Structure 1
């Protein structure tokens, strides 16, 4: 079916507005357009409204993200509105106003758009607008900034009554192009889509200019001695060292993925004298604190404090934060309040270093950080022209534990088995490693794609969906320095590491008398020594997080089966196999499980076989290289070829949760090789 031109026009305007972060935050705000459609029952014209539905982002909004409603039915709800104490019931009533099938669920802001007498309406959360909305004398500042063109509307929780309020404002002020909503954002309107967009941008840019020209130059106060940003290289090293500890603290109630930023505005905020006071006041705009919690955890030590001291203080502050959050919950909860969702911080600020943000996945963690950066801009603007005065704590609680928000959470799909887990896979640029990375991401994990080939790592990371799902790192596993750097990259990208797969390797197939010491050393350096070095660094991270973890070795059937002309490779695989047992015995007390997978004959897609091993093994067995996979399959009990995906399946079986009490195990993935049965 062709898209209605009014809806198409709305999408185009939404995309333009959402593309600029100065206009609104990610997934924040909503837009609408009114027009005429056809009633499919009577064939007559009917007044409709298309509005961005619950969830979604303006910049990437699609037709499926719009709700289409009958305007006459929506406005008829004013006759049955039961009053502010029961206005949440109106959200369910919106469903009876829908036109046609499909589309998004109507959001809480639907009434604002439908009741305002304007063909096009934008409700946005620009930092400049929220700065005025959250200033102590925001009403007077709005009048000074805009005159009669923009009207102040005092704070009211989003809902049907707010829609009635704004409709009344529009009617009483025919010269107005929009309003500033106290503690919240802005709303603009227009007779055409172009006029509405122009009015929205007029409000936003006028507020930006007003704050810049009227504001004081240092609204956050003077620089605090010792709180200045560390040099970039030093702060990145410190951030990587702190990240697993902080992630572990933020995951006390449930596992979280982390995000780190050392953006200039954050570092400047933390270097200034007023940052403790302002951070304690918390965020204000509902879109902000629903993702950032009402306030962050702030390390109250200078940038140069010793690392051990900083870790100890963070642990103390975390205990205090949890106690304060529980007290906040208990101050405001009643018999109808949903259970407390968790008392850990979503934002942790470290002076001189930057901001750590957390969420159920990477995108949620990243967006939480983006929202707190929005809050920093808001505080700067409000303090520049007045003082920052967010909405009252009780109102924040009403929003955070709103039954409508709880219902939205209940509608979310069940997390995938590896959700919030962070994996690092070596040799992931091709073959088995690539297949493992794909399976782990498919099951919800974030993956660090580690490979000696930068191109290979980047290609696979891109296949997996980019930085919200996977990041590439270049690492030679024989280098302690490169391994340390790879884990540091994982810490900065996702907050830590929970699952490591030792897959990197090469294969040298020669008889004993043709195997040189160089061959032997190279084989052992990459697989035996490399696995040891990676596992050692993994355990350092996992013990810092205190979240347990998994280490999986991709060993081989050759670790237990003595094949011909295979001394270096087979001995190395036996080394890896015993590392599994030794480490399982040593690190189990930390909740870290160590297991192995023993593949055999994985020819198709294998970087090792393509790199010469295939030709060598084909020569040993007297077959054509192209027939090697079929040869291996033919000698198995199941007569099936083993593919990289089958090895990936075994890795998931070991780490997906069903084998939570298994450690020290090797799983054969060889289609049945009796001589390699484990005893």
Structure 2
């Protein structure tokens, strides 16, 4: 159906509009086109409407994301509309208007597009338009800005009645090319896709110019003494230090993934005198506060305050925020309202440092932060020409706890086992580490791919899906500062760390008399010392987060039963194995579980074996290097070769949620080496 010329024009227009954040926010707004197509049942023509479906994004919209409806049936709903008190029932009625299989599920805004008498309609959430929509005298400002070419529609919750309102305003204002929707956004229309897009952009750009030319220069007031932004390096170090504590607060009701933003827009807002008042008013556009909650939590200390003081104050403010949110819910909840979903903030603002945003995954957390930036821009525009006056709190509650919104949440798929968890895997650029990173990401985790080879780490991070799923860090695990920097990168990217896999290593295969002190030191520096340093940094973060955690050591069968000519390697693996026992005992009181995996004979796909260890071990056993995997398999009870993916499976088994009461365990992944059975 998306191949119809009108649908194709709609998709092209949507992509152009949605690719520019000045026009609308991610997944915000919708666009439609009407046209005539062939009806395979009657053989005649049928009037159809193609419109962005529920949950889609204009910038990335595809044909599958369009809902396709018959216009005659959609317009006939006017005759059975039961009134505003029961308008939610009309969403289910849209299903009876679908043409053929109907495409995507129709959104709440479908009526707006179908009832407005125009071939093409855009509904968008531009910052400039919402600034007028949320100004105290928005109606007068709209008239001043546009004359009679853009009309005003007072606030009404999205739905069938809003569609009727806009249709009536269009009919009463024949010169109008669109409307500003109070507290919400804009809607524009046109006779062709090109005219509709042109009208949308005219409204947006004209509003931008009006705000810039008519607005006062410092709408947020003067800079508060001591509240200016810290220098970038200091700012980001402070953000990383605060991140685990902030994530702990945002995750009290349910674990969350974090995102950090320190753009000039955010820093300037937090430096200004009016930011406490404006932040307390909350956001307005429904798309905004559904992602950001009604209002953010704002730290009321300057950035020079000691870290301990800032953490303690954040905890005090968080307790007050939760109490106030519970009161807000009780004040507005009806007997049939959905249960309170949680009282933790989605946005935490720290003057001089930046903004932390949270969600069920990285994308949701990032988008929440983007939406709050939109809200800051809206506040700036409204305050520049008037006074920021968002919709009333009761209306915000009606949106936040809307039965239709609750139904949408209930339709979401169940989260994967490692959803909301952040994993850091060392030596993840190849072999076992790469396989572990892939498995953890496939199970829902955000992954920090750490490797000495930054190019390899970057490739793996791209394989995992890019910045919303994984980030790469270059780290030498023998270097304390590089390890600290890797964890800072994880904290800034995802808000914290919950799962660490100590996998980085090398292998030196030599008889005792040929093993040098340098061989011994290098082997122990990378694996024994490196694992210790990584685990120590992980424990610091996990203890601050108060969310528990997992540390997994990729040890070896050689920690229990060593082969010949590898004293340095086997000794350091035994060191790692004992670190598992020691740390399991020490960190258990913090809910941190420490376990190990003991692989053996992982030849194929192994960076270590490809780097010379394979040739050395093949020489020791008197076999050809390319047959080393077969040799290892033949000596096992199962007669099976061990691959990196098998080790990754064991890591997931230990961390995926079923072994919640297991710590201090070593899991053999060796296809059965009887001499290495744990006793």
Per the TM superposition, whether the score is higher than 0.5 is: yes
1:508 aligns with 508
Cα distance in 2, alignment partners of residues 557 and 129 from structure 1: 64
2:431 aligned with 1:419, yes or no? no
Cα distance in 1, alignment partners of residues 585 and 306 from structure 2: 33
For 1:273-292, what per-residue CA distance to the aligned partner results, in whole angstroms no more than 9, with x for missing partners? 00000000000000000000
Q: Give 1:242-641 correspondences, 5 Å limit.
A: 242-641=242-641
For 1:362-407, what per-residue CA distance to the aligned partner results, in whole angstroms no more than 9, with x for missing partners? 0000000000000000000000000000000000000000000000
Cα distance in 1, alignment partners of residues 157 and 52 from structure 2: 19
CA contact (8 A) 2:291 2:368 kept: yes
- Runs of 4+ with >2 A deviation: none
Cα distance in 2, alignment partners of residues 435 and 320 from structure 1: 44
CA contact (8 A) 2:290 2:400 kept: yes
Q: Give 1:664-679 correspondences, 5 Å limit.
A: 664-679=664-679
2:239 aligned with 1:236, yes or no? no
Cα distance in 2, alignment partners of residues 91 and 18 from structure 1: 25
Cα distance in 1, alignment partners of residues 549 and 626 from structure 2: 39
Cα distance in 1, alignment partners of residues 152 and 550 from structure 2: 55
CA contact (8 A) 2:346 2:357 kept: yes
For 1:475-499, what per-residue CA distance to the aligned partner results, in whole angstroms no more than 9, with x for missing partners? 0000000000000000000001000
For 1:333-353, what per-residue CA distance to the aligned partner results, in whole angstroms no more than 9, with x for missing partners? 011100000000000000000
SS at match of 1:594: strand
2:153 aligns with 153
Unmatched 5+ residue regions in structure 2? none
Cα distance in 1, alignment partners of residues 177 and 56 from structure 2: 26
For 1:108-164, what per-residue CA distance to the aligned partner results, in whole angstroms no more than 9, with x for missing partners? 000000000000000000000000000000000000000000000000000000000
2:63 aligned with 1:63, yes or no? yes
Cα distance in 2, alignment partners of residues 73 and 102 from structure 1: 13
For 1:456-482, what per-residue CA distance to the aligned partner results, in whole angstroms no more than 9, with x for missing partners? 100000000000000000000000000
How many residues were matched structurally? 679
Cα distance in 1, alignment partners of residues 102 and 191 from structure 2: 27
For 1:539-571, what per-residue CA distance to the aligned partner results, in whole angstroms no more than 9, with x for missing partners? 000000000000000000000002100100000
For 1:203-240, what per-residue CA distance to the aligned partner results, in whole angstroms no more than 9, with x for missing partners? 00000000000000000000000100001110000000
CA contact (8 A) 1:281 1:295 kept: yes
Unmatched 5+ residue regions in structure 1? none
For 1:254-313, what per-residue CA distance to the aligned partner results, in whole angstroms no more than 9, with x for missing partners? 000000010001000000000000000000000000000010000000111110000000
> 1:2, CA displacement in angstroms?
7.2
SS at match of 1:100: strand
Query: Structure 2 length normalisation: TM-score?
Result: 1.00
> 1:101, CA displacement in angstroms?
1.1
Cα distance in 1, alignment partners of residues 6 and 287 from structure 2: 27
Cα distance in 2, alignment partners of residues 110 and 142 from structure 1: 25
2:218 aligns with 218
> 1:3, CA displacement in angstroms?
1.3
SS at match of 1:542: helix
CA contact (8 A) 2:152 2:179 kept: yes
CA contact (8 A) 2:501 2:554 kept: yes
2:46 aligns with 46
CA contact (8 A) 1:64 1:102 kept: no
Cα distance in 1, alignment partners of residues 42 and 222 from structure 2: 69
Cα distance in 2, alignment partners of residues 28 and 485 from structure 1: 36
SS at match of 2:497: coil
SS at match of 2:355: strand
> 1:40, CA displacement in angstroms?
1.5
Cα distance in 2, alignment partners of residues 5 and 557 from structure 1: 64
SS at match of 1:170: helix
1:181 aligns with 181
Cα distance in 1, alignment partners of residues 71 and 544 from structure 2: 57
SS at match of 2:417: coil
SS at match of 2:598: strand
Cα distance in 2, alignment partners of residues 534 and 152 from structure 1: 59
CA contact (8 A) 2:535 2:551 kept: yes
SS at match of 2:552: strand
Cα distance in 2, alignment partners of residues 299 and 471 from structure 1: 28
> 1:107, CA displacement in angstroms?
0.3
Cα distance in 2, alignment partners of residues 289 and 110 from structure 1: 21
Cα distance in 1, alignment partners of residues 632 and 467 from structure 2: 38
Cα distance in 1, alignment partners of residues 348 and 412 from structure 2: 26
SS at match of 2:287: helix
Cα distance in 2, alignment partners of residues 523 and 658 from structure 1: 34
Cα distance in 2, alignment partners of residues 400 and 614 from structure 1: 59
Cα distance in 2, alignment partners of residues 68 and 446 from structure 1: 36
> 1:592, CA displacement in angstroms?
0.2
Q: RMSD value over aligned CA atoms?
A: 0.6
SS at match of 2:12: helix
CA contact (8 A) 1:418 1:440 kept: yes
